[in-house]
Structure 1
Amino acid sequence: MKRPATRALLFDKDGTLFHFGETWNAWALAVIDRLAGGDAARREALARAARYDLDTQRFDPSSPIIAGTNREAAECLMTALPGFPLAALEALLTDLAKDAPLVPTVHLPGLFAALKSAGFALGLMTNDTEEAARSHIGRAGLADSFDFVAGFDSGFGAKPDPGPLRAFAEATGHAPAACAMIGDSVHDLVAGRAAGMKTVGVLTGPARASTLAPFADVILPDIGHLPVWLGTGFPKND
């Protein structure tokens, strides 16, 4: 049975709208240095906890921070900060994330204007906080582009749970089968499959095509290739 044409697009944020490495590797080094406070041993311990290579200044692809929630990132770093209040660390990470040096994967305003004018419902779901997500899309010129914005703390759950994806479908009035989840991580695509959506993997995050392939209906170099993939899937005016 043929699946419905795609009418709604739900995007991950980090590694999808913004290059993961260029955005978050430098940010992570600054966070580690701030938390280390000049203590070399603590700096090394924080890097190990985050699975961050201080020599290459990048995350290992296996780092739980890459696709995890802000709370999970704080819990990860807490193993190297005994006695540091978890709530305070989580709040600090949230505050620092709002000023991360964003590097867009494509010209975002042009792409999202085209998708919106074509009639697609557009959403953003990230395992970051909703506050940071809204700050980032605002800085990128996308404040009015989305019909739905959610973080792990928005009350719908976090990926790979399909709850927030189903919330997007319900909020925009589309069946999950008419929605596509677009992301750079296995978490994104597993959530999409569980929600009954089409799944689109992009290669602007740490994961390789071979890692995403078992969970993706299609893999694209970046979200700029979406219009070609959608093709006749562009919804017509009713």
Structure 2
Amino acid sequence: MIDGIIFDKDGTLFDFRASWGGWARHLLRDLARDAEHAREMGAAIGFDVESGQFAPDSPVIAATAADIAACLLPHMTGRSHAEVMAEINARAAVAAMAPSVPLRPLLGVLKARGLRVGLATNDTEAPARAHLAAHDITEFFDFVAGYDSGYGAKPGPGMCAAFAKRFGFDPARVVMVGDSRHDLEAGRAAGMRTVAVLTGVAGSEELAPHADAVLADIGGLPAWLDGLQAA
């Protein structure tokens, strides 16, 4: 019933808070003139520097590096949008990602079922590939796309549609797995099934209306797929 699975990255493959809270704190403190300036810039991107927590509507959760840079730019006199975006991307590529579950075993199980596996992230493609490589899981991915790969950003369906088209799949036989409404809306717009996971910032009450299933994390996917097959 399912030919392929396309994953979001941040908040899905990798636990969002554990991966990006420290990164955002260090980024802002390094860019800021002082502690008050860091707090001001944090507020601009929905991040509390002291607690390390993201607001539910933080652009860091689902927006692109270009969007994040645009939020910071009014607070950074003398810096261009391109400069700020380049700094965000460079720092993102070396960010320490915390896997939401042990990834190699899970991805191995999915590949053993004959599934094609893809990645669709609103990060840029180069940092996304760096994160996969850092966790030795690149080999499991048949398709990797960032918002700069030519298919557009989520919630647009471009990356999801390109994955299905690459392998000639009926989108109805592909699953989009993500932790945000942007992910689920992208999958639905591409005609795919959607599965939400709770390893991001959004809760089940926000995600459930846009998903065929809500799982604690991606470790529940094999059992969910078994349920589809049994049905």
Superposition TM-score, scaled by structure 1 size: 0.94
Structure 1 match to 2:159: 164
Distance 1:144 1:74 in 2: 31
Which moves more between the two structures, 201-210 or 69-78?
69-78
Unaligned runs of 5+ in 2: none
Distance 2:147 2:176 in 1: 16
Structure 1 match to 2:142: 147
Give, in angstroms, the shift of residue 232 of structure 1: 5.9
Deviations 1:157-194 (A, max 9, x none): 00000011100100122111110000000000011111
Secondary structure in structure 2 of the residue aligned to 1:65: helix
Structure 2 match to 1:204: 199
Contact 1:147 1:172 (C-alpha < 8 Å) held by counterparts: no
User: Which of these residues, 206, 209, 228, is aligned with residue 223 of structure 2?
Assistant: 228
Secondary structure in structure 1 of the residue aligned to 2:110: helix
Distance 1:204 1:12 in 2: 11
Question: 2:159 aligned with 1:137, yes or no?
Answer: no
Structure 2 match to 1:30: 26
Give, in angstroms, the shift of residue 202 of structure 1: 0.2
Unaligned runs of 5+ in 1: none
Deviations 1:62-115 (A, max 9, x none): 112210011111111112113311111111111100111111011100111111
Contact 1:178 1:197 (C-alpha < 8 Å) held by counterparts: yes
Structure 2 match to 1:71: 66
Deviations 1:123-178 (A, max 9, x none): 00000010000000011111111110000000000000001110010012211111
Distance 1:96 1:232 in 2: 40
Structure 1 match to 2:77: 82
Contact 2:171 2:191 (C-alpha < 8 Å) held by counterparts: yes
Structure 2 match to 1:110: 105
Distance 1:106 1:135 in 2: 18
Distance 1:89 1:172 in 2: 36
Question: 2:213 aligned with 1:213, yes or no?
Answer: no
Amino acid at match of 1:122: V
Distance 1:40 1:227 in 2: 46
Secondary structure in structure 2 of the residue aligned to 1:123: strand
Give, in angstroms, the shift of residue 30 of structure 1: 0.3
Amino acid at match of 2:11: G
Amino acid at match of 1:10: I
Secondary structure in structure 1 of the residue aligned to 2:61: coil
Secondary structure in structure 2 of the residue aligned to 1:66: helix
Contact 1:7 1:233 (C-alpha < 8 Å) held by counterparts: no
Secondary structure in structure 2 of the residue aligned to 1:84: coil
Count of paired positions: 229
Structure 1 match to 2:17: 21
Distance 2:88 2:167 in 1: 31
Give, in angstroms, the shift of residue 51 of structure 1: 1.3
**What is the percent sequence identity of the aligned residues?**
46
Question: 2:132 aligned with 1:127, yes or no?
Answer: no
Question: 2:3 aligned with 1:7, yes or no?
Answer: yes
Distance 1:75 1:119 in 2: 41
Contact 2:29 2:35 (C-alpha < 8 Å) held by counterparts: no
Q: Which stretches of structure 1, 4 residues or more, deviate above 3 A after TM superposition?
A: none
Distance 1:203 1:40 in 2: 32
Amino acid at match of 1:68: A
